[in-house]
Structure 1
């Protein structure tokens, strides 16, 4: 089968608000299990008789502010946000961040995007909403189901993010999110969609709490999960969300996506009834699903260097899992494959557990590093570890390349026996990035609110400062094509990352896009000509260079010299012999400059609503409008560049500038136009933008051109960013996601409405 590329990854996991933080924690061996005080638990509503019971362990892996949500971003009213299961809320935010991590805006994505995901049991409706008398007596009680029921998890995310592919809620207990990844792969291979998101979410109600320990149960008495360790007594609950984005490899390569890893094969099966009971695991079934995934992937067990195991740390589950793995690997090699489980770090995330483990394996491949297995001192004797292909790494270690690409396996097994296994491979080496022809780059940022825009700038500055591998051309491209454009906007033009960081940290007034901007091209004739001002543009912009070259060839027999020597005297060979005082040369040179700039702007999607020309600029306007052919226009200019009625030109400028929502876009410097408008009433509100810098500035032409492009985008002009990219092949890179402006949305139960739950084993847990 065609490999599936992992092109996006996002999550909020215990101790880690981002996937980058999750990797840092896991490779540093951080345990993110919280231990709560009696006061904390009482405050959120747990009965005193429960939390003081000697068999109650006040520990779990939790995420901060799980009751907060950016309702305005998703168009929710306060009432809609408050009656929504927090799981559905944070899942929608994580889907948005995952889409951003791909570098694709769904509004411009050429294809269908699907969603496959599942969640933990909804407890917000029964334990909070229905336990609140005010809610029960409100009209909201009749509309709460679509905001809470599991059935609507995937479709709610598809609706909020405007995704048109299949949207399917998947439920198989603790293997849910890895099953979702498998189903997403199958949908891509069957061309049911062109990108697929897969993942899971789990949150408890109340949002913090511990668990009871009972004889024969799966929970650890000491509040620590110790996979494969001799002293392990079970697992610890964990909560959070993780979502991955997948594409067919061929499509990901064609779009220069940020490929984190490849999925080579996956498989599902069920235990059936050949086991001790419904909750019990089956060594045979686990072995078969692993062997099947390896067969689908077409790889040998000896080529797999790491397995992200289900690894709950239970005395029964770990030995059965390792026996199944050993049987599936079917090799005489010993101790060559690392094995671990992120449950030691963050707990058992139920429906999100498989996606969390999948994320850790992907990140291990991406960083070429084996993460440590924490809380491990000596192997459980029942594992017979020395007779297996596996070892438990206790420190982070480099993952050296070998005869085959680095490969990993990921397992998730569930109560009821639905088993999933996926075989991963490191991403193919990206093609060497061609050095950008541009010496400057345009970065664009937008948000729904001024504060979010300021946060986005600060977050990007931190990323640029901390990540030396980021290429500014890739960053600019990703921001241009891979982010939704919102009302509050900001742009900056910079040469390198240091300049970008300084600009991002400089104070900037928030600017709200004022609707579609009407552009009027102003062609100022001879005033457009500034020798060498467009030299960088000629070197970097193929459309501009092509049109200048065309004009030069047409004008050569008319002038007896190359007009490029007049345009670029500092860089053009033979420029020393050019007569730049001869109007027969300078006028055609000014014509070529304006003609080429006009073509460049139009190629970028900036279409003029009108054109105003002065002197030879009138001929350029007629030519751009199709009323005059280029050879004839050049011949006329080369023969009374001619003069124009300055009064009529200024009057036309003033009339155009006074029209609401109009930008005067000069095909050259703009200082002459600004002077012409200076006496007009309301001139301070006019928008005049240059294509080239003024004579009194040392800013080069390319920086000015890109700054004006950013100003037009900031004023809500539609820009063809693919055309701006031209023939370059920048990569889509992972950048900070949208800085959601969250507030607390919560309906709690009436005082005393929680009933003691007893100490029986919760039904959601897995072996």
Structure 2
């Protein structure tokens, strides 16, 4: 078994797109099969890349490369870009942004909560140079600074940190061809130095036009025939490729403690530079490479004889390959009997700034799967390399890992100019066995659109059908390791996951109101399964039991004793209080509460009016006093309280719904009233006539008991059963109120109406059954919804089915639910799952000389603006032009369309120029739709004098301002407005 030093780094996630493969999994399949992603381009592809017939006919032109298809497509809406801004964003930055999302998702760490650092590299941006600069097809309104900001390599890491909300260091690393392997080294050092807890490291190299081919020159590094053959006798150069990859790293001890899936372990990394010890700046150095490899071995504390594979830099050049083999031979102080060499460049080409991470991913997969990847192209070694006299060889077929010790591999990356990097990888530790999970699991998914959500559902369903992961681990991963987006899905699964019956929605009802049921909702065994599987609930229930004069757990299981009021009321309180504590542990905090009869005591206790011990004592005393009274009857009547014509000996006990009430009295009085009704009523199974005059004999004694208890003002608002409105501090702290509460009719319907008047809410019944949620649905719940926490006694369900379903539906509705807390007490594993289905659309500025789609969009927008009339049409046309969106509706939100504050200055300047109205700098924030902005324009026109001299002067000044001057002026106006408002 491997012993760890505490300095190891775990590879817990990876993602990438390479020539010929769109995922890491597909990439690995191609590696094992020897599938080459480098290919010859078609005439159509060369035409689109602007390659003329004259150039194609030139000697040495090679129409071959490792192209990354689809780089013009991007999920702009997901990342908050307008089509205009997306079109000018460097495709390297777009593709790396999506790759970073998938890598963190693969690791199960996209959900946030940890300090995540970003370390990234990119190649020279040819999109800016070839496609954008001096191209009339670039969308209008963009300044040179805008183009630079969208294409500067320096912004790569920061852009990822911004869009993924990552708060660790964000550092762009540039060391030529070794850049992305150096990012991994820097990330490892940052983790060991505690700069971050998780690190995303990688690189991207996309140099459009990617289907252009290249010009071979004799003695150059580019292969004459479009084949890259590292270490082979026929090797004569490299082929350019395009690609992206990123890995997610953690300190090994943290990854193991958190149950991360570990794909490989980084034992150590090293970097250095050749200095001047070589024949030229671009030449490699044996000594420099050997020193960095040996340093990595020393830092890793591994014997070089235990390394079974090296993913070489392997450029297949006559100079580079012999130097690399010489450096390896010199660096391996204790040479192995045999060590395989390979280079991913043979399959996907040289990825420049992304080459190192591509090789790192290949080596990590190799040690993880325990196979040595093949180099099928290989025929015989280049005699200049000296391979035949070294311990190194190039294998043509997949080989089992040599030796009996831990599988170890080296990865080299050498940059032009002499910055060298080397990493030593080891196989991952065996996963620690996890205990069985709960019997039920909540699976959740979210996406930015309904279509993407459906695609996510299909992908996860297929993954689950194929098996391979424990359902508890899948549930843990999707709940804690994914970003919560607007469109959501949730389903509760038992032995197997069936996603066809999932709940979906995209609500924005954030507020939650707790509803606590009263006597009559209890049943034997209520919440018993919850107590078995939820430690938080069980602990709260045990705490309640410690303050009661009877064995609570025995009572909860005894149907007969639960018919006795002296047991029923405290048992209900204990279950509801414990359930509320569970919900609070899950992050669900009520903005308000409403109890039904004894349920109001739970609300008051949670609000701080009573301490738990006092609340339980009062509820137990209340139940005992009522239990000693003569029996009575209660009747449910399908009429509203105002529609009842009650005789003197029958009391209104509860106003439950607009057309449902409960009355109470003696058996005789209630019987006579029942016979007089023209509607069908229902006798309730209760032992006493609660909330009627039959309670009067105990009110004085109960008030005296309440007066002995400390009563405090409520910290959470709740509605009074007595008044049907918000309880006041004076009422909550008055012992007489609690005596009246036992006698007065329960104004539940009025109380619910009071709560709903505050706006849409999630009504959560916190107690057994679904009595209150059923009553709530008899009210006007427009915009609101009601959910139960525990099953009805006649339902054949597990307790977790109901409570987890409620948690999922609350989350779908937009309520704050801490999905990670649902199983915070048990250790689970994060497992790789299908990634987000990006909804990519074409956002591209074509090469000069072609018919740019963007220019057509702008021209169409202008034509519509000229043809239309009115302020709304003009404003809409300005938005369409500057945002690059062909169709914008009057109520579309500027910021949801991808607008931002810098572009807002141009929008306001255009409105001023075209409509002659000066809007304040904050106008677009206060009126973020075309319709609202048009209304602001009309409002300003109505309150300002007609074009007086001062206004004409101001308008003339604005029209003469440059965009930079106007932006500065608007910023000054906005600052002045903010100061005046504060």
Instruction: Provide TM-score, normalisation by structure 1.
Output: 0.89
Residue 522 (structure 1) aligns with:
515
In the TM superposition, 1:276-425 aligns within 5 A as 276-331=279-334, 333-335=336-338, 337-399=339-401, 402-403=404-405, 405-425=406-426
| 3-state SS of paired residue (1:429) | coil
Contact 1:106 1:163 in 2 (8 A): no
Aligned ranges for residues 719-734 of structure 1 at < 5 Å? 719-734=817-832
Whether 1:465 aligns to 2:465 is yes
Match of 1:698 in 2: 796
SS in 2 for 1:275: coil
**Contact 1:529 1:593 (8 Å CA) reproduced:** no
Which of structures 1 and 2 has the larger relative contact order (alpha carbons within 8 angstroms, sep 6+)? 1
Tell me whether 1:663 sits opposite 2:762 in the alignment: yes
Report how far residue 627 of structure 1 moved.
2.6
> 2:761, 2:783 within 8 Å by CA — same for their partners in 1?
no
Find the counterpart in structure 1 of residue 483 from structure 2.
484
User: Structure 2 unaligned runs (5+)?
Assistant: 1-5, 628-687, 692-743, 852-982
1:567 aligns with 2:568: no
For 1:270 and 1:713, how far apart are their aligned partners in 2? 52
| Unmatched 5+ stretches in structure 1 | 570-574, 754-767
Cα distance in 2 for partners of 1:76, 1:253 equals 37
* 1:469-504 deviations in Å (ceiling 9; x for gaps): 3222222222222222122111111114xx42x31x
> For the residues of structure 2 that align with 1:314 and 1:48, how far apart are their CA atoms?
29
Quote the Cα distance in structure 1 between the aligned partners of 2:443 and 2:503: 16
Distance 1:464 1:136 in 2: 45
**Bigger CA drift: 24-33 or 115-124?**
24-33
Answer yes or no: is 1:635 the counterpart of 2:620.
yes
Q: 1:608 aligns with which of 573, 587, 590?
A: 590
Q: Which SS does the other structure have where 1:480 is aligned?
A: helix
Paired position in structure 2 for 1:29: 34
Match of 1:70 among 69, 75, 87: 75
Q: Is the 8 A contact 1:129 1:136 kept in 2?
A: no
Deviation at 1:581, TM superposition (A): 4.2
Aligned with 2:572 (options 581, 584, 590): 590
Secondary structure at 1:705's aligned position in 2? helix
Q: Does structure 2 conserve the Cα–Cα contact (< 8 Å) formed by 1:331 and 1:389?
A: no
Q: Aligned in 2, Cα 1:538/1:267: closer, same or farther, shift over 3 Å?
A: same
RMSD over aligned CA atoms reads 2.6
Instruction: Tell me, in whole angstroms, the C-alpha distance in 2 between the residues paired with 1:663 and 1:243.
Output: 40
Q: 1:620 aligns with which of 598, 602, 605?
A: 602
Structure 1 stretch displaced more, 640-649 or 311-320: 640-649
Matched residue, 1:431 = 432
C-alpha distance in 1 between matches for 2:138 and 2:230: 43
Q: Match for residue 246 of structure 2?
A: 243
**What is the correspondence of 1:527-566 to structure 2 with a 5 Å cutoff?**
527-555=520-548, 557-558=549-550, 562-566=551-555
**Structure 1 residues 188, 677: CA separation in 2 closer, same or farther (over 3 Å shift)?**
closer
Partners of 1:179 and 1:566 lie apart in 2 by: 66
Q: What displacement does 1:41 show?
A: 0.6
Q: Which structure has the bigger radius of gyration?
A: 2
Deviation of 1:66 (Å): 0.7
**How far apart are residue 206 of structure 1 and its match?**
0.8
Instruction: Measure the CA separation in 1 of the matches of 2:460 and 2:826.
Output: 23
- Compared CA separation, residues 259 and 216, structure 1 to 2 (3 A): same
Deviation at 1:508, TM superposition (A): 6.2
Give the direction of change, closer, same or farther, for the CA distance of 1:648–1:263 in structure 2 (3 Å limit).
same
Q: Residue 332 of structure 1: CA displacement?
A: 5.1
**In the alignment, structure 1 residue 717 sits paired with structure 2 residue 804:** no
The answer as to 2:50 corresponding to 1:45 is: yes
* CA-CA distance at 1:349 after TM superposition: 0.5
Alignment deviations for residues 147-183 of structure 1 (CA, whole Å, 9 cap, x no partner):
1122222222223323333322222211111112112
In structure 1, what is the equivalent of residue 473 of structure 2?
474
Paired with 1:399 and 1:538, the residues of 2 have a C-alpha distance of 50
Report how far residue 143 of structure 1 moved: 1.8
Q: Would the alpha carbon gap of residues 372 and 638 (structure 1) be closer, same or farther in structure 2, given more than 3 Å must change?
A: farther
Aligned pair 1:158/2:161, yes or no? Answer: yes
Partner residue of 1:743?
841
Mapped pair 1:648 → 2:747? yes
**Counterpart of 1:127 in 2: which secondary structure?**
helix
Q: CA deviation at 1:386?
A: 3.5
CA distance in 1, matches of 2:103, 2:529: 37
1:414-439: CA deviation from partner (whole Å, max 9, x where unpaired): 22222111111222333221211x11
- Contact 2:111-2:484 within 8 A present in 1 as well: no
| Partner deviation per Cα, 1:544-584 (whole Å, 9 max, x = no partner) | 112223334443x44xxx44244346xxxxx9xx7454444
1:333/1:665 Cα in 2 relative to 1: closer, same or farther (>3 Å)? closer
Counterpart CA distance in 2 for 1:332 and 1:706 is 58
Q: Report if the CA contact (8 A) 2:569-2:620 is conserved.
A: no
Q: Is the 8 A contact 1:657 1:663 kept in 2?
A: no
* Equivalent residue number for residue 183 of structure 2: 180
Aligned to 1:762: none
> What is the CA-CA distance between 1:727 and the residue it aligns to?
1.5
SS in structure 1 of the partner of residue 413 of structure 2? strand
Alpha-carbon shift at residue 106 of structure 1 (Å) = 6.4
What does residue 253 of structure 1 align with? 256
Give the alignment partner of residue 505 of structure 2, picking from 504, 511, 532.
511
User: Which residue is equivalent to 1:213?
Assistant: 216
State which drifts further: 131-140 or 711-720: 131-140
SS state of the match for residue 709, structure 1? helix
User: 1:669-688 counterparts in 2 under 5 A?
Assistant: 669-677=768-776, 679-680=778-779, 682-683=780-781, 686-688=784-786
Distance in 1 (CA, whole Å) between partners of 2:170 and 2:601 is 56
Equivalent pair of 2:205/2:353 in contact (CA under 8 Å) = yes
After superposition, the Cα gap between the structure-2 partners of 1:586 and 1:359, relative to the gap in structure 1 and judged at 3 Å, is same
CA-CA distance at 1:31 after TM superposition: 1.6
Is the CA contact (8 Å cut-off) linking 1:83 and 1:140 kept in structure 2?
no
Q: Which moved more, 1:198-207 or 1:183-192?
A: 183-192
- Point out the more displaced range, 216-225 or 306-315: 216-225
1:126 shift after superposition = 1.6
Supply the distance in 1 between the matched residues of 2:280 and 2:417 (Cα, whole angstroms): 9
Q: Secondary structure of 1:144's match? A: helix
Cα contact 2:526–2:768 (8 A) shared by 1: no
